[in-house]
Structure 1
């Protein structure tokens, strides 16, 4: 996370009473219609920890599961956004991964976005909850749905053994720059195993130094190297690690832009980024978005989304 980063949703900014909120949510779902404005007003202005207290209070007061009641009353992208807010971050990652793996096809982008950016502790928790909820091993499900060097990268991510030290060993940086050059640009073909070893095991701080060292030594940006040496999902996986290591804020700014530009909107990606970064660095992401694209995230959301889905995203963004 960048220095001074903060989210748009912070406990210091919220007026919170779990009993009142649970009752208001119950009333919003009572009868024939649903008061989506009321639901959005509450959940987009509470931290995840506060939402979990509301969830527990709702169960205590009414003997029902709040998430199930919301599922029964809502639909479409609005339902997906509200459920993303109501689940814990780990629950939401587990839900997203299962959704990406289940069914006829595989959404490799989701696998990459989650598995290549989460901390060791988060990945360990994700694996544990995935097993608890679905009674299957996440690693095996990923292996069954992927292949080749891309599968190896995701298996490496599943181990949750990345170095997370902030200390950068300059001697090791020089060695890794040399190894990456020899495994890619300096030979015919690519030694993906060496790229995998470095990108999957080194700390983000170390990788940032390696990429800077590579550009200084060989006058080529690491993203361009990855694009020229690899392709497809493997390329996307390596690029995600490289971009995340270089600049976390910029990685999510680009992700938001790509989710909304072009003919269609990648609704799931848009929801995932806005909700998961809402308490971490969404404020910084919004500011960097304006600098990079000369426009606001809010204006993009207004142009690409509609109805209650649009309104709740704008509420999270704190327009």
Structure 2
């Protein structure tokens, strides 16, 4: 609405003016905030695949965490904004079982609100066999369950997996698989269990283990603002003992710092 009023009053495109008159990461934040959520996801996915190399972690963060409805909207906007098919681009830019799992997620076919306790044990046994056998067929079965079963069903499956194997499924996946395929599977499990905790973990890693990875920090804060960012802040403080505000202030500065803190504050005034 602000962008439309800006065009009506001044005959100019607000996003283009922001791009031309700002710089560095402050510009990235301000421009990113102008996109509606599906457009922002599409924008991030496009740039993750069309730049120099593929930014796999961006694909994981977005596709492992979005609902069916969000995925459908994202695909429509991606086609309109870039005249390109999201699934075709993923197929061209990734490979192996990592690609297969991403392609499955972009179908947006996850069951919703459905749980079958009788099937939970069978699904858990398939996952356990997939961790032991690790054949291509077992990997396909594993990703089909994680990408298509409802969150409610997967909660029961993970508990049954613990009962059958004596191990947490995260530990089993980390031991049995590697590379981005493993990272994607683990991200799906973490999002099923507690999405705010997953993003708190990703923020902490981006801030402390990657020398403040600006792209990741900006993407998560913008994408989760007005959705679950307050819960992400709480999980961050509970898990790491310091407020997200504190860590951002330590590594960012100037207008860039102020913009990130303002996003984190949301409707509160505690920044």
**Interval containing the TM-score (normalised by the shorter chain):** over 0.9
TM-score w.r.t. structure 1 length? Answer: 0.80
Q: 2:205 aligns with which of 246, 258, 268?
A: 258
* Residue in 2 that maps onto 1:156: 104
**Where does structure 1 differ by over 4 angstroms across 4 or more consecutive aligned residues?**
none
Q: 1:69 aligns with which of 9, 17, 23?
A: 17
* Residue in 1 that maps onto 2:154: 207
Q: Structure 1 unaligned runs (5+)?
A: 1-52
Question: Relative contact order, CA 8 A, sep 6+: which one is greater?
Answer: 1
Instruction: Tell me how far apart the structure 2 counterparts of residues 100 and 160 of structure 1 sit (CA, whole Å).
Output: 20
Larger radius of gyration: 1
Instruction: Tell me how far apart the structure 1 counterparts of residues 79 and 227 of structure 2 sit (CA, whole Å).
Output: 27
RMSD, matched Cα: 1.4
Q: Confirm whether residue 122 of structure 1 aligns to residue 70 of structure 2.
A: yes
For the structure 1 residues 282 and 263, does the alpha-carbon distance in structure 2 shift closer, same or farther, using more than 3 Å as the test? closer
Instruction: Tell me how far apart the structure 1 counterparts of residues 52 and 240 of structure 2 sit (CA, whole Å).
Output: 36
Instruction: Tell me how far apart the structure 1 counterparts of residues 105 and 116 of structure 2 sit (CA, whole Å).
Output: 22
Instruction: Tell me how far apart the structure 2 counterparts of residues 299 and 197 of structure 1 sit (CA, whole Å).
Output: 40
Moved more, 216-225 or 187-196: 187-196
Q: Deviations for 1:110-130, whole angstroms, at most 9, x for unmatched residues?
A: 111111211111111111111
- Does the 8 A contact of 2:41 with 2:223 survive in 1? no
CA shift, 1:217, in A, is 2.5
Instruction: Tell me how far apart the structure 2 counterparts of residues 119 and 239 of structure 1 sit (CA, whole Å).
Output: 17
Q: For residue 64 of structure 1, give the secondary structure of its aligned residue in structure 2.
A: coil
Instruction: Tell me how far apart the structure 2 counterparts of residues 188 and 91 of structure 1 sit (CA, whole Å).
Output: 37
* Residue in 1 that maps onto 2:49: 101
CA shift, 1:86, in A, is 0.9
* Residue in 2 that maps onto 1:225: 172
TM-score w.r.t. structure 2 length? Answer: 0.94
- Does the 8 A contact of 1:189 with 1:229 survive in 2? no
* Residue in 2 that maps onto 1:306: 253
For the structure 1 residues 104 and 90, does the alpha-carbon distance in structure 2 shift closer, same or farther, using more than 3 Å as the test? same
Instruction: Tell me how far apart the structure 2 counterparts of residues 121 and 317 of structure 1 sit (CA, whole Å).
Output: 25
Name the structure where helix makes up a greater proportion of residues. 2
* Residue in 1 that maps onto 2:81: 133
Q: Confirm whether residue 290 of structure 1 aligns to residue 237 of structure 2.
A: yes
Instruction: Tell me how far apart the structure 1 counterparts of residues 169 and 134 of structure 2 sit (CA, whole Å).
Output: 18
Q: Deviations for 1:153-181, whole angstroms, at most 9, x for unmatched residues?
A: 1111121111122x321011111011111
Q: Deviations for 1:23-74, whole angstroms, at most 9, x for unmatched residues?
A: xxxxxxxxxxxxxxxxxxxxxxxxxxxxxx1111111111111111111111
CA shift, 1:188, in A, is 6.4
Moved more, 237-246 or 215-224: 215-224
Q: Structure 2 unaligned runs (5+)?
A: 266-270
